[in-house]
Structure 1
Amino acid sequence: MIASTTFHARDCQRFFEYWKGLPKNGVAPDRSAFDPVAIRDLTPMMVMVEYQTLETAHFRYAGSKLTEILGFDPTRSRYLDLLEESAVGSFFNASLPMLHVPCGGRFNIKTQSATGYFMNCEAVDLPFVNSRDGTWIVMALIGILGITGMHDERSFRILEIENSEWIDIGAGLPGPETATKLAPLAAGER
């Protein structure tokens, strides 16, 4: 059973409802089930990150509005290259448990945009199976909750990831201990 959660950004709720309606390959849908046309108004604020390992997690897609906020297109870039050193631990704490169980996640993120704003955002991260390559993909929708200030730099940074909430998608939730490896894909998920 997929648990419900409360989102602060309406678009995050819409993406979660879309994901819940996709056919599942185990507890998560296969990447091939994702139809960007079905939620085309949400895709400008979406990213797709593929995980072979946490250290090599890389962007496979970034929506047009996000590339504007970022100031560049991160497609094919390593996720860790966008983080302030102080946010790396939060990235590992958010990603590893989510992919070990697997489950979804809701996160509050503080960012510095390339467009000159400090922003508070909400992200919903949901797992997909990439059965073709035997990897996990996390698709995230970023909802802007508010602008908290301005700055003069023209670079993007994730300043902080906080207030995480796990979403049970049918495999349970991460325990208090931190997992040490990504969940293997079952034979039927490859």
Structure 2
Amino acid sequence: MQENETINLEPETFVSPKTKAFADYWFSLKEKTRADKPGAAAHMPVRAAFDPIAIPSLLSDIVLLERTRPDAFLLRLQGTAFIERGVMDRTGTTLSPDETQPGRQQILNAMTRILNTPCGLRLVGVEQNMDGKNSLVEVAVFPLANNEGKPTFVVALVSTLETLGYREDVHFKDSLVEIREAVEIDLGLA
């Protein structure tokens, strides 16, 4: 991808208007970062540039994680919509490999891929709340750099698409229990 090309995500890339708006916001941060530092080929927005207040209609559906070890992420921010949907508040907890959580390794692999590539991801998965309600969700996930420019943070917006039913016999700590589809989004950063 050429530096001066405009990245346009097609409307059909995302099903939810919220995930589309979130992707547009991330790309606007990338363009602002490029404008602030002319001359370099690619710029990943830094965490300090990400301002949740700038996107008030999306804030409640946002998750911000920080990689603290190669296989662990600290959940820094979890929006209020998760609590409203009956999902456990995990703010301040660390996600690391845990064989008792069925989707955990898939999630860790996806976040690691986002930071190592770096790339964005459009995920479709199953979210389960504390009452066993399963919902199909669409997730837009993007990397953010630390102040030194190293990809360290993962920011995501989770949007509910439909209710799939209930599974009262099994409850998990993690809300995203399955990833059904993962599509890489070229960010023009490589």
Q: Does the alignment reach a TM-score above 0.5? A: yes
**Are positions 1:73 and 2:92 aligned together?**
no
Find the counterpart in structure 2 of residue 44 from structure 1.
60
Find the counterpart in structure 2 of residue 168 from structure 1.
186
Structure 1 CA distance for aligned equivalents of residues 122 and 112 of structure 2: 14
SS in 1 for 2:96: helix
Structure-to-structure mapping, 1:78-157, within 5 angstroms: 78-80=94-96, 85-131=101-147, 136-152=152-168, 156-157=173-174
SS in 1 for 2:72: coil
Structure 1 CA distance for aligned equivalents of residues 72 and 162 of structure 2: 31
Give the stretch that moved more between structures: 86-95 or 3-12. Answer: 86-95
* Structure 1 residues 114 and 86: alpha-carbon distance in aligned structure 2, compared to 1, 3 A threshold: closer
Residues 18-55 of structure 1, C-alpha deviation per residue, up to 9 Å, x if partnerless?
11111227532111112222211111111000013242
Gaps of 5+ in 2: 35-41
Give the stretch that moved more between structures: 41-50 or 22-31. Answer: 22-31
Q: What letter corresponds to residue 187 of structure 2 in structure 1?
A: I
Gaps of 5+ in 1: 173-190
Structure 2 CA distance for aligned equivalents of residues 106 and 145 of structure 1: 14
Find the counterpart in structure 2 of residue 178 from structure 1.
none
Aligned residues: 172
The answer to whether the 8 A contact 1:3-1:167 is kept is no
SS in 1 for 2:85: helix
Q: What letter corresponds to residue 28 of structure 2 in structure 1?
A: G
**Are positions 1:21 and 2:39 aligned together?**
no
Q: TM-score, normalised by structure 1?
A: 0.78
Q: Could you tell me how far 1:150 is from its partner in structure 2?
A: 2.0
* Structure 1 residues 119 and 165: alpha-carbon distance in aligned structure 2, compared to 1, 3 A threshold: same
Q: TM-score, normalised by structure 2?
A: 0.78
Q: Could you tell me how far 1:127 is from its partner in structure 2?
A: 0.8
The answer to whether the 8 A contact 2:120-2:141 is kept is yes
Structure 2 CA distance for aligned equivalents of residues 7 and 135 of structure 1: 24
Give the stretch that moved more between structures: 58-67 or 132-141. Answer: 132-141
Q: What letter corresponds to residue 95 of structure 1 in structure 2?
A: M
The answer to whether the 8 A contact 1:54-1:92 is kept is no
The answer to whether the 8 A contact 1:68-1:115 is kept is no
Greater RCO structure (CA 8 Å; 6+ sep)? 1
Q: What letter corresponds to residue 30 of structure 1 in structure 2?
A: V
* Structure 1 residues 97 and 135: alpha-carbon distance in aligned structure 2, compared to 1, 3 A threshold: closer
